[in-house]
Amino acid sequence: MKNNSIDLVDLDLARAKSINSEFHTLFIEDRSERKIPVNDAEKTYQIIPKYRIFRVYISSFSEIKKGLHAVFNELRKAASNDHLELRINSGGGYVREGQQFFNVMLEKFSGRTTAYLDNVGYSMGALLFCMAEKRVIYPYSDLMFHDYAHGVMGKGGNVKSRVKHSSRTMKQFFHDIVVRQNFLTESEFKEMLLGKDFWMNAKEMCQRGIATHVVISGEIISAKDFLKLLKRKKKAEKKQAENSDQISEQKVTEKKLSKKKVKK
């Protein structure tokens, strides 16, 4: 009976550390105080006080229930030194919902946000990824920007004014997140508004500065180092191909010489 009680307590604590909405899940992880050596001779340290990591797994931005309210409410309980980590694997959804995440990031986690592109970030998923200060991808992460889709019902005049207003605010929001950070050029942004989709792999995300870091073999390296790694890999593959061609040519030459000797 005692053991069962302990198990139930542990289960309650685990549940208290995670909150589920319809498409997103929040986990809270405690980090202990740390001492980082500054000067070994003088035995001085920089103390990093204990803090919490609020880790949110992001899926579709299409909530129709109230579970997301609990997630946002918990995020707003964050202290001034807590961190936000977003794990994004999203095909997109409602922009307004994504803007709620953006508002929480500005309000409670400014300067302390990290986003991981676990697999794909399309549409609103791509925008949310771009909102974080540190943006981490994997070699096969995939990202896509495009213009928003919109639908309105009502009286003709009301529909017209609402569409005009939404178009203006959405355009400015997207521009502030993506163009001001030079992830898309002004020219590309205009193309996007005309219907063009911009698809990007890991290499292009690093080249554009969208990704700041890449996970390789269990380590996080800078985007610049990843690009250097790709360059070295391409050079090595080219050299290997050249060597292979040389070996093939050598074999052909040897075969020809062998045939000549046989004729003689």
147 vs 72, higher pLDDT: 72
104-144 pLDDT, tens digit each: 999 999 999 999 999 999 999 999 999 999 999 999 999 99
**pLDDT at site 79:** 95
pLDDT at 264 over 80: no
Which of 2-16, 77-91, 120-134, 211-225 is least confident? 2-16
Q: What is the pLDDT of residue 167?
A: 72
Percent residues over pLDDT 90 in the chain: 59
Q: Does domain 2-263 have CATH number 3.90.226.10?
A: yes
Query: To which residue do tokens 């035995």 refer?
Result: 43
| HSE-CB of 11 using CA atoms within 13 angstroms | 6
52 vs 127: CA distance, rounded Å: 25
Q: What is the mean pLDDT of residues 182-209?
A: 96
What are the structure tokens assigned to 239, written together? 């050299």
From 73, 55, 135, 63, select the one nearest 96 (Cα to Cα): 63
pTM of the full structure: 0.79
* CA–CA dist 129, 89 (Å, integer): 10
Per-residue model confidence as pLDDT tens digits over 204-215 = 999 999 999 999
Per-residue pLDDT band for 15 (boundaries 50, 70, 90) equals very low
Percentage of the chain exceeding pLDDT 70: 78
Q: What is the pLDDT of residue 74?
A: 95
Query: What pLDDT is stored for residue 71 in this prediction?
Result: 94
The Cα–Cα gap between 84 and 3 comes to 35
What angle do helix axes 95-108 and 67-75 make, rounded to 10 degrees? 20
User: Looking at residue 4, what is its pLDDT?
Assistant: 45
- pLDDT given for residue 125 in this prediction: 96
- Alpha-carbon distance values, 62 to 91, 157, 175 (Å): 10, 28, 23
